[in-house]
Amino acid sequence: MGLVGGVLGFCVCLPVGLAAAYFLYLRYFAARRLQDPVIRPLRDLDSETLQTTIPDIPLWVKSPDYERIDWMNKFIFDMWPFLDKAICNNIKRAMRPIFDQYDGQYGIESIEFEELTLGALPPTFQGIKVYEMLEKVLVIEPVIRWASIANVILNAKVHSFNVSVQLEDLHIMLTPRVTLKPLVPSFPCFANLCVSLMEKPRIDFGLKLLGGDIMAIPGLYHYVQDQISKQISVLYHWPKVIQIPILDGVSGATKKPVGILHVKVIRALNLLKMDLLGKSDPYVKMRLSGERLPSKKTSVKMRNLNPEWNEHFRFIVKDPNTQVLELHMFDWEKVSCC
């Protein structure tokens, strides 16, 4: 009994002790390293300090190729309170189906946005460069900086216990190249919009778990920041390009909705056994061909080879002669077709 009691005591006290040490570190040691910034007039700085401030100087000061667009910044600033609400509402609608997939799994009862705001400070254009091309192409390179005071709090209820994750103080600096091609005589006067990043993005943010700043853990801050920048660079760094079709090829006719397709996913029978216990966790993804919108998904039916959904979906149809409804069934754990 003494041995068993000792083992149980060790198993219980070890995680409790680690958690207590983590929060004590955040409370007493990490906070001590934060100091108020030193503010001095520019004329009092030496040459070495001035050299370190050069990256923060707007490009239109350092390079004559970049132009100021203060009017655009003023326009965005005046519109930002309304853009903030509209963007946040779209984010909530887009994330709702994703959150619903996890309800009832791993003890998760609900996932909700407790707070979602992009803050009072909008993105600003530090400068913009326009290339003169001989072809029917318009190429622009804006430099975008966003020092936001965004506040995003995600609250998950797990086994009746609330777990909160907070994202705050998001800082982003991007140098995208935007190409409009080809230019056509039909509104909006370009057929495709192509975007790529000319430099590695600079991203900074604060992340809290249960009120503790996990980015204060030694080594984690730089690792996370570097990994995010690397992943974005792999996907979007020039010469890689995101191409967004705007008009229909040569005709220049914009695709307009002509109808709505109603889809009801009822059930599936005799699915393959994907788990070691002879079960599957199936869900269905569906989309219309030719659409750039994300696929729609049913809920996940845990450990069920004959699931029933009875879920309704709607799709906007733009070309009934060529568009096809694509349906794929996946196992939630293995993420492979059943």
- What is the band of 56 on the pLDDT scale with cuts at 50, 70, 90? low
Mean pLDDT of 80-90: 91
3-state SS string for the chain: CHHHHHHHHHHHHHHHHHHHHHHHHHHHHHHHHCCCCCCCCHHHCCHHHHHHHHHHCCHHHHCCCCECCHHHHHHHHHHHHHHHHHHHHHHHHHHHHHHHHCCCCCCEEEEEEEEEECCCCCCEEEEEEEECCCCCCEEEEEEEEEECCCEEEEEEEECCEEEEEEEEEEEEEECEEEEEEEECCCCCCEEEEEEEECCCCEEEEEEEECCEEHHHCCCHHHHHHHHHHHHHHHHHECCCCEEEECCECCCCECCCCCEEEEEEEEECCCCCCCCCCCCCCEEEEEEECCCCCCCEECCCCCCCCCCEEEEEEEEEECCCCCCCEEEEEEECCCCEEC
- Write out pLDDT tens, residues 178-222: 999 888 888 888 888 889 988 888 888 888 887 777 777 777 778
Q: Calculate the average pLDDT of the chain.
A: 78
- Of 102 and 74, the one with more pLDDT: 74
Cα separation, 320 vs 259, in Å, equals 8
- The whole-number pLDDT of residue 40 equals 65
Q: Long-range contacts for 332-337 (Cβ within 8 Å, ≥24 apart)?
A: 332/101, 332/105, 332/281, 332/282, 332/283, 332/300, 332/302, 333/274, 333/275, 333/281, 334/274, 336/274
| Between residues 336 and 52, the one the model is more confident about | 52
Query: With 80 as the cut, is the pLDDT of residue 288 above it?
Result: yes
> Which domains does the chain possess?
56-245 (no CATH), 259-337 (2.60.40.150)
Residue 62 has a pLDDT of 65
Question: Could you report the per-residue pLDDT of 104-161, keeping only the tens digit for each?
Answer: 777 777 888 888 888 888 999 988 888 887 778 889 999 888 888 888 888 888 877 8
pLDDT tens-digit series, residues 240-277: 888 888 876 544 445 677 888 999 999 999 888 877 77
Backbone angles phi, psi at 154, to 5 degrees: -105, 125
Average pLDDT over residues 308-323: 87
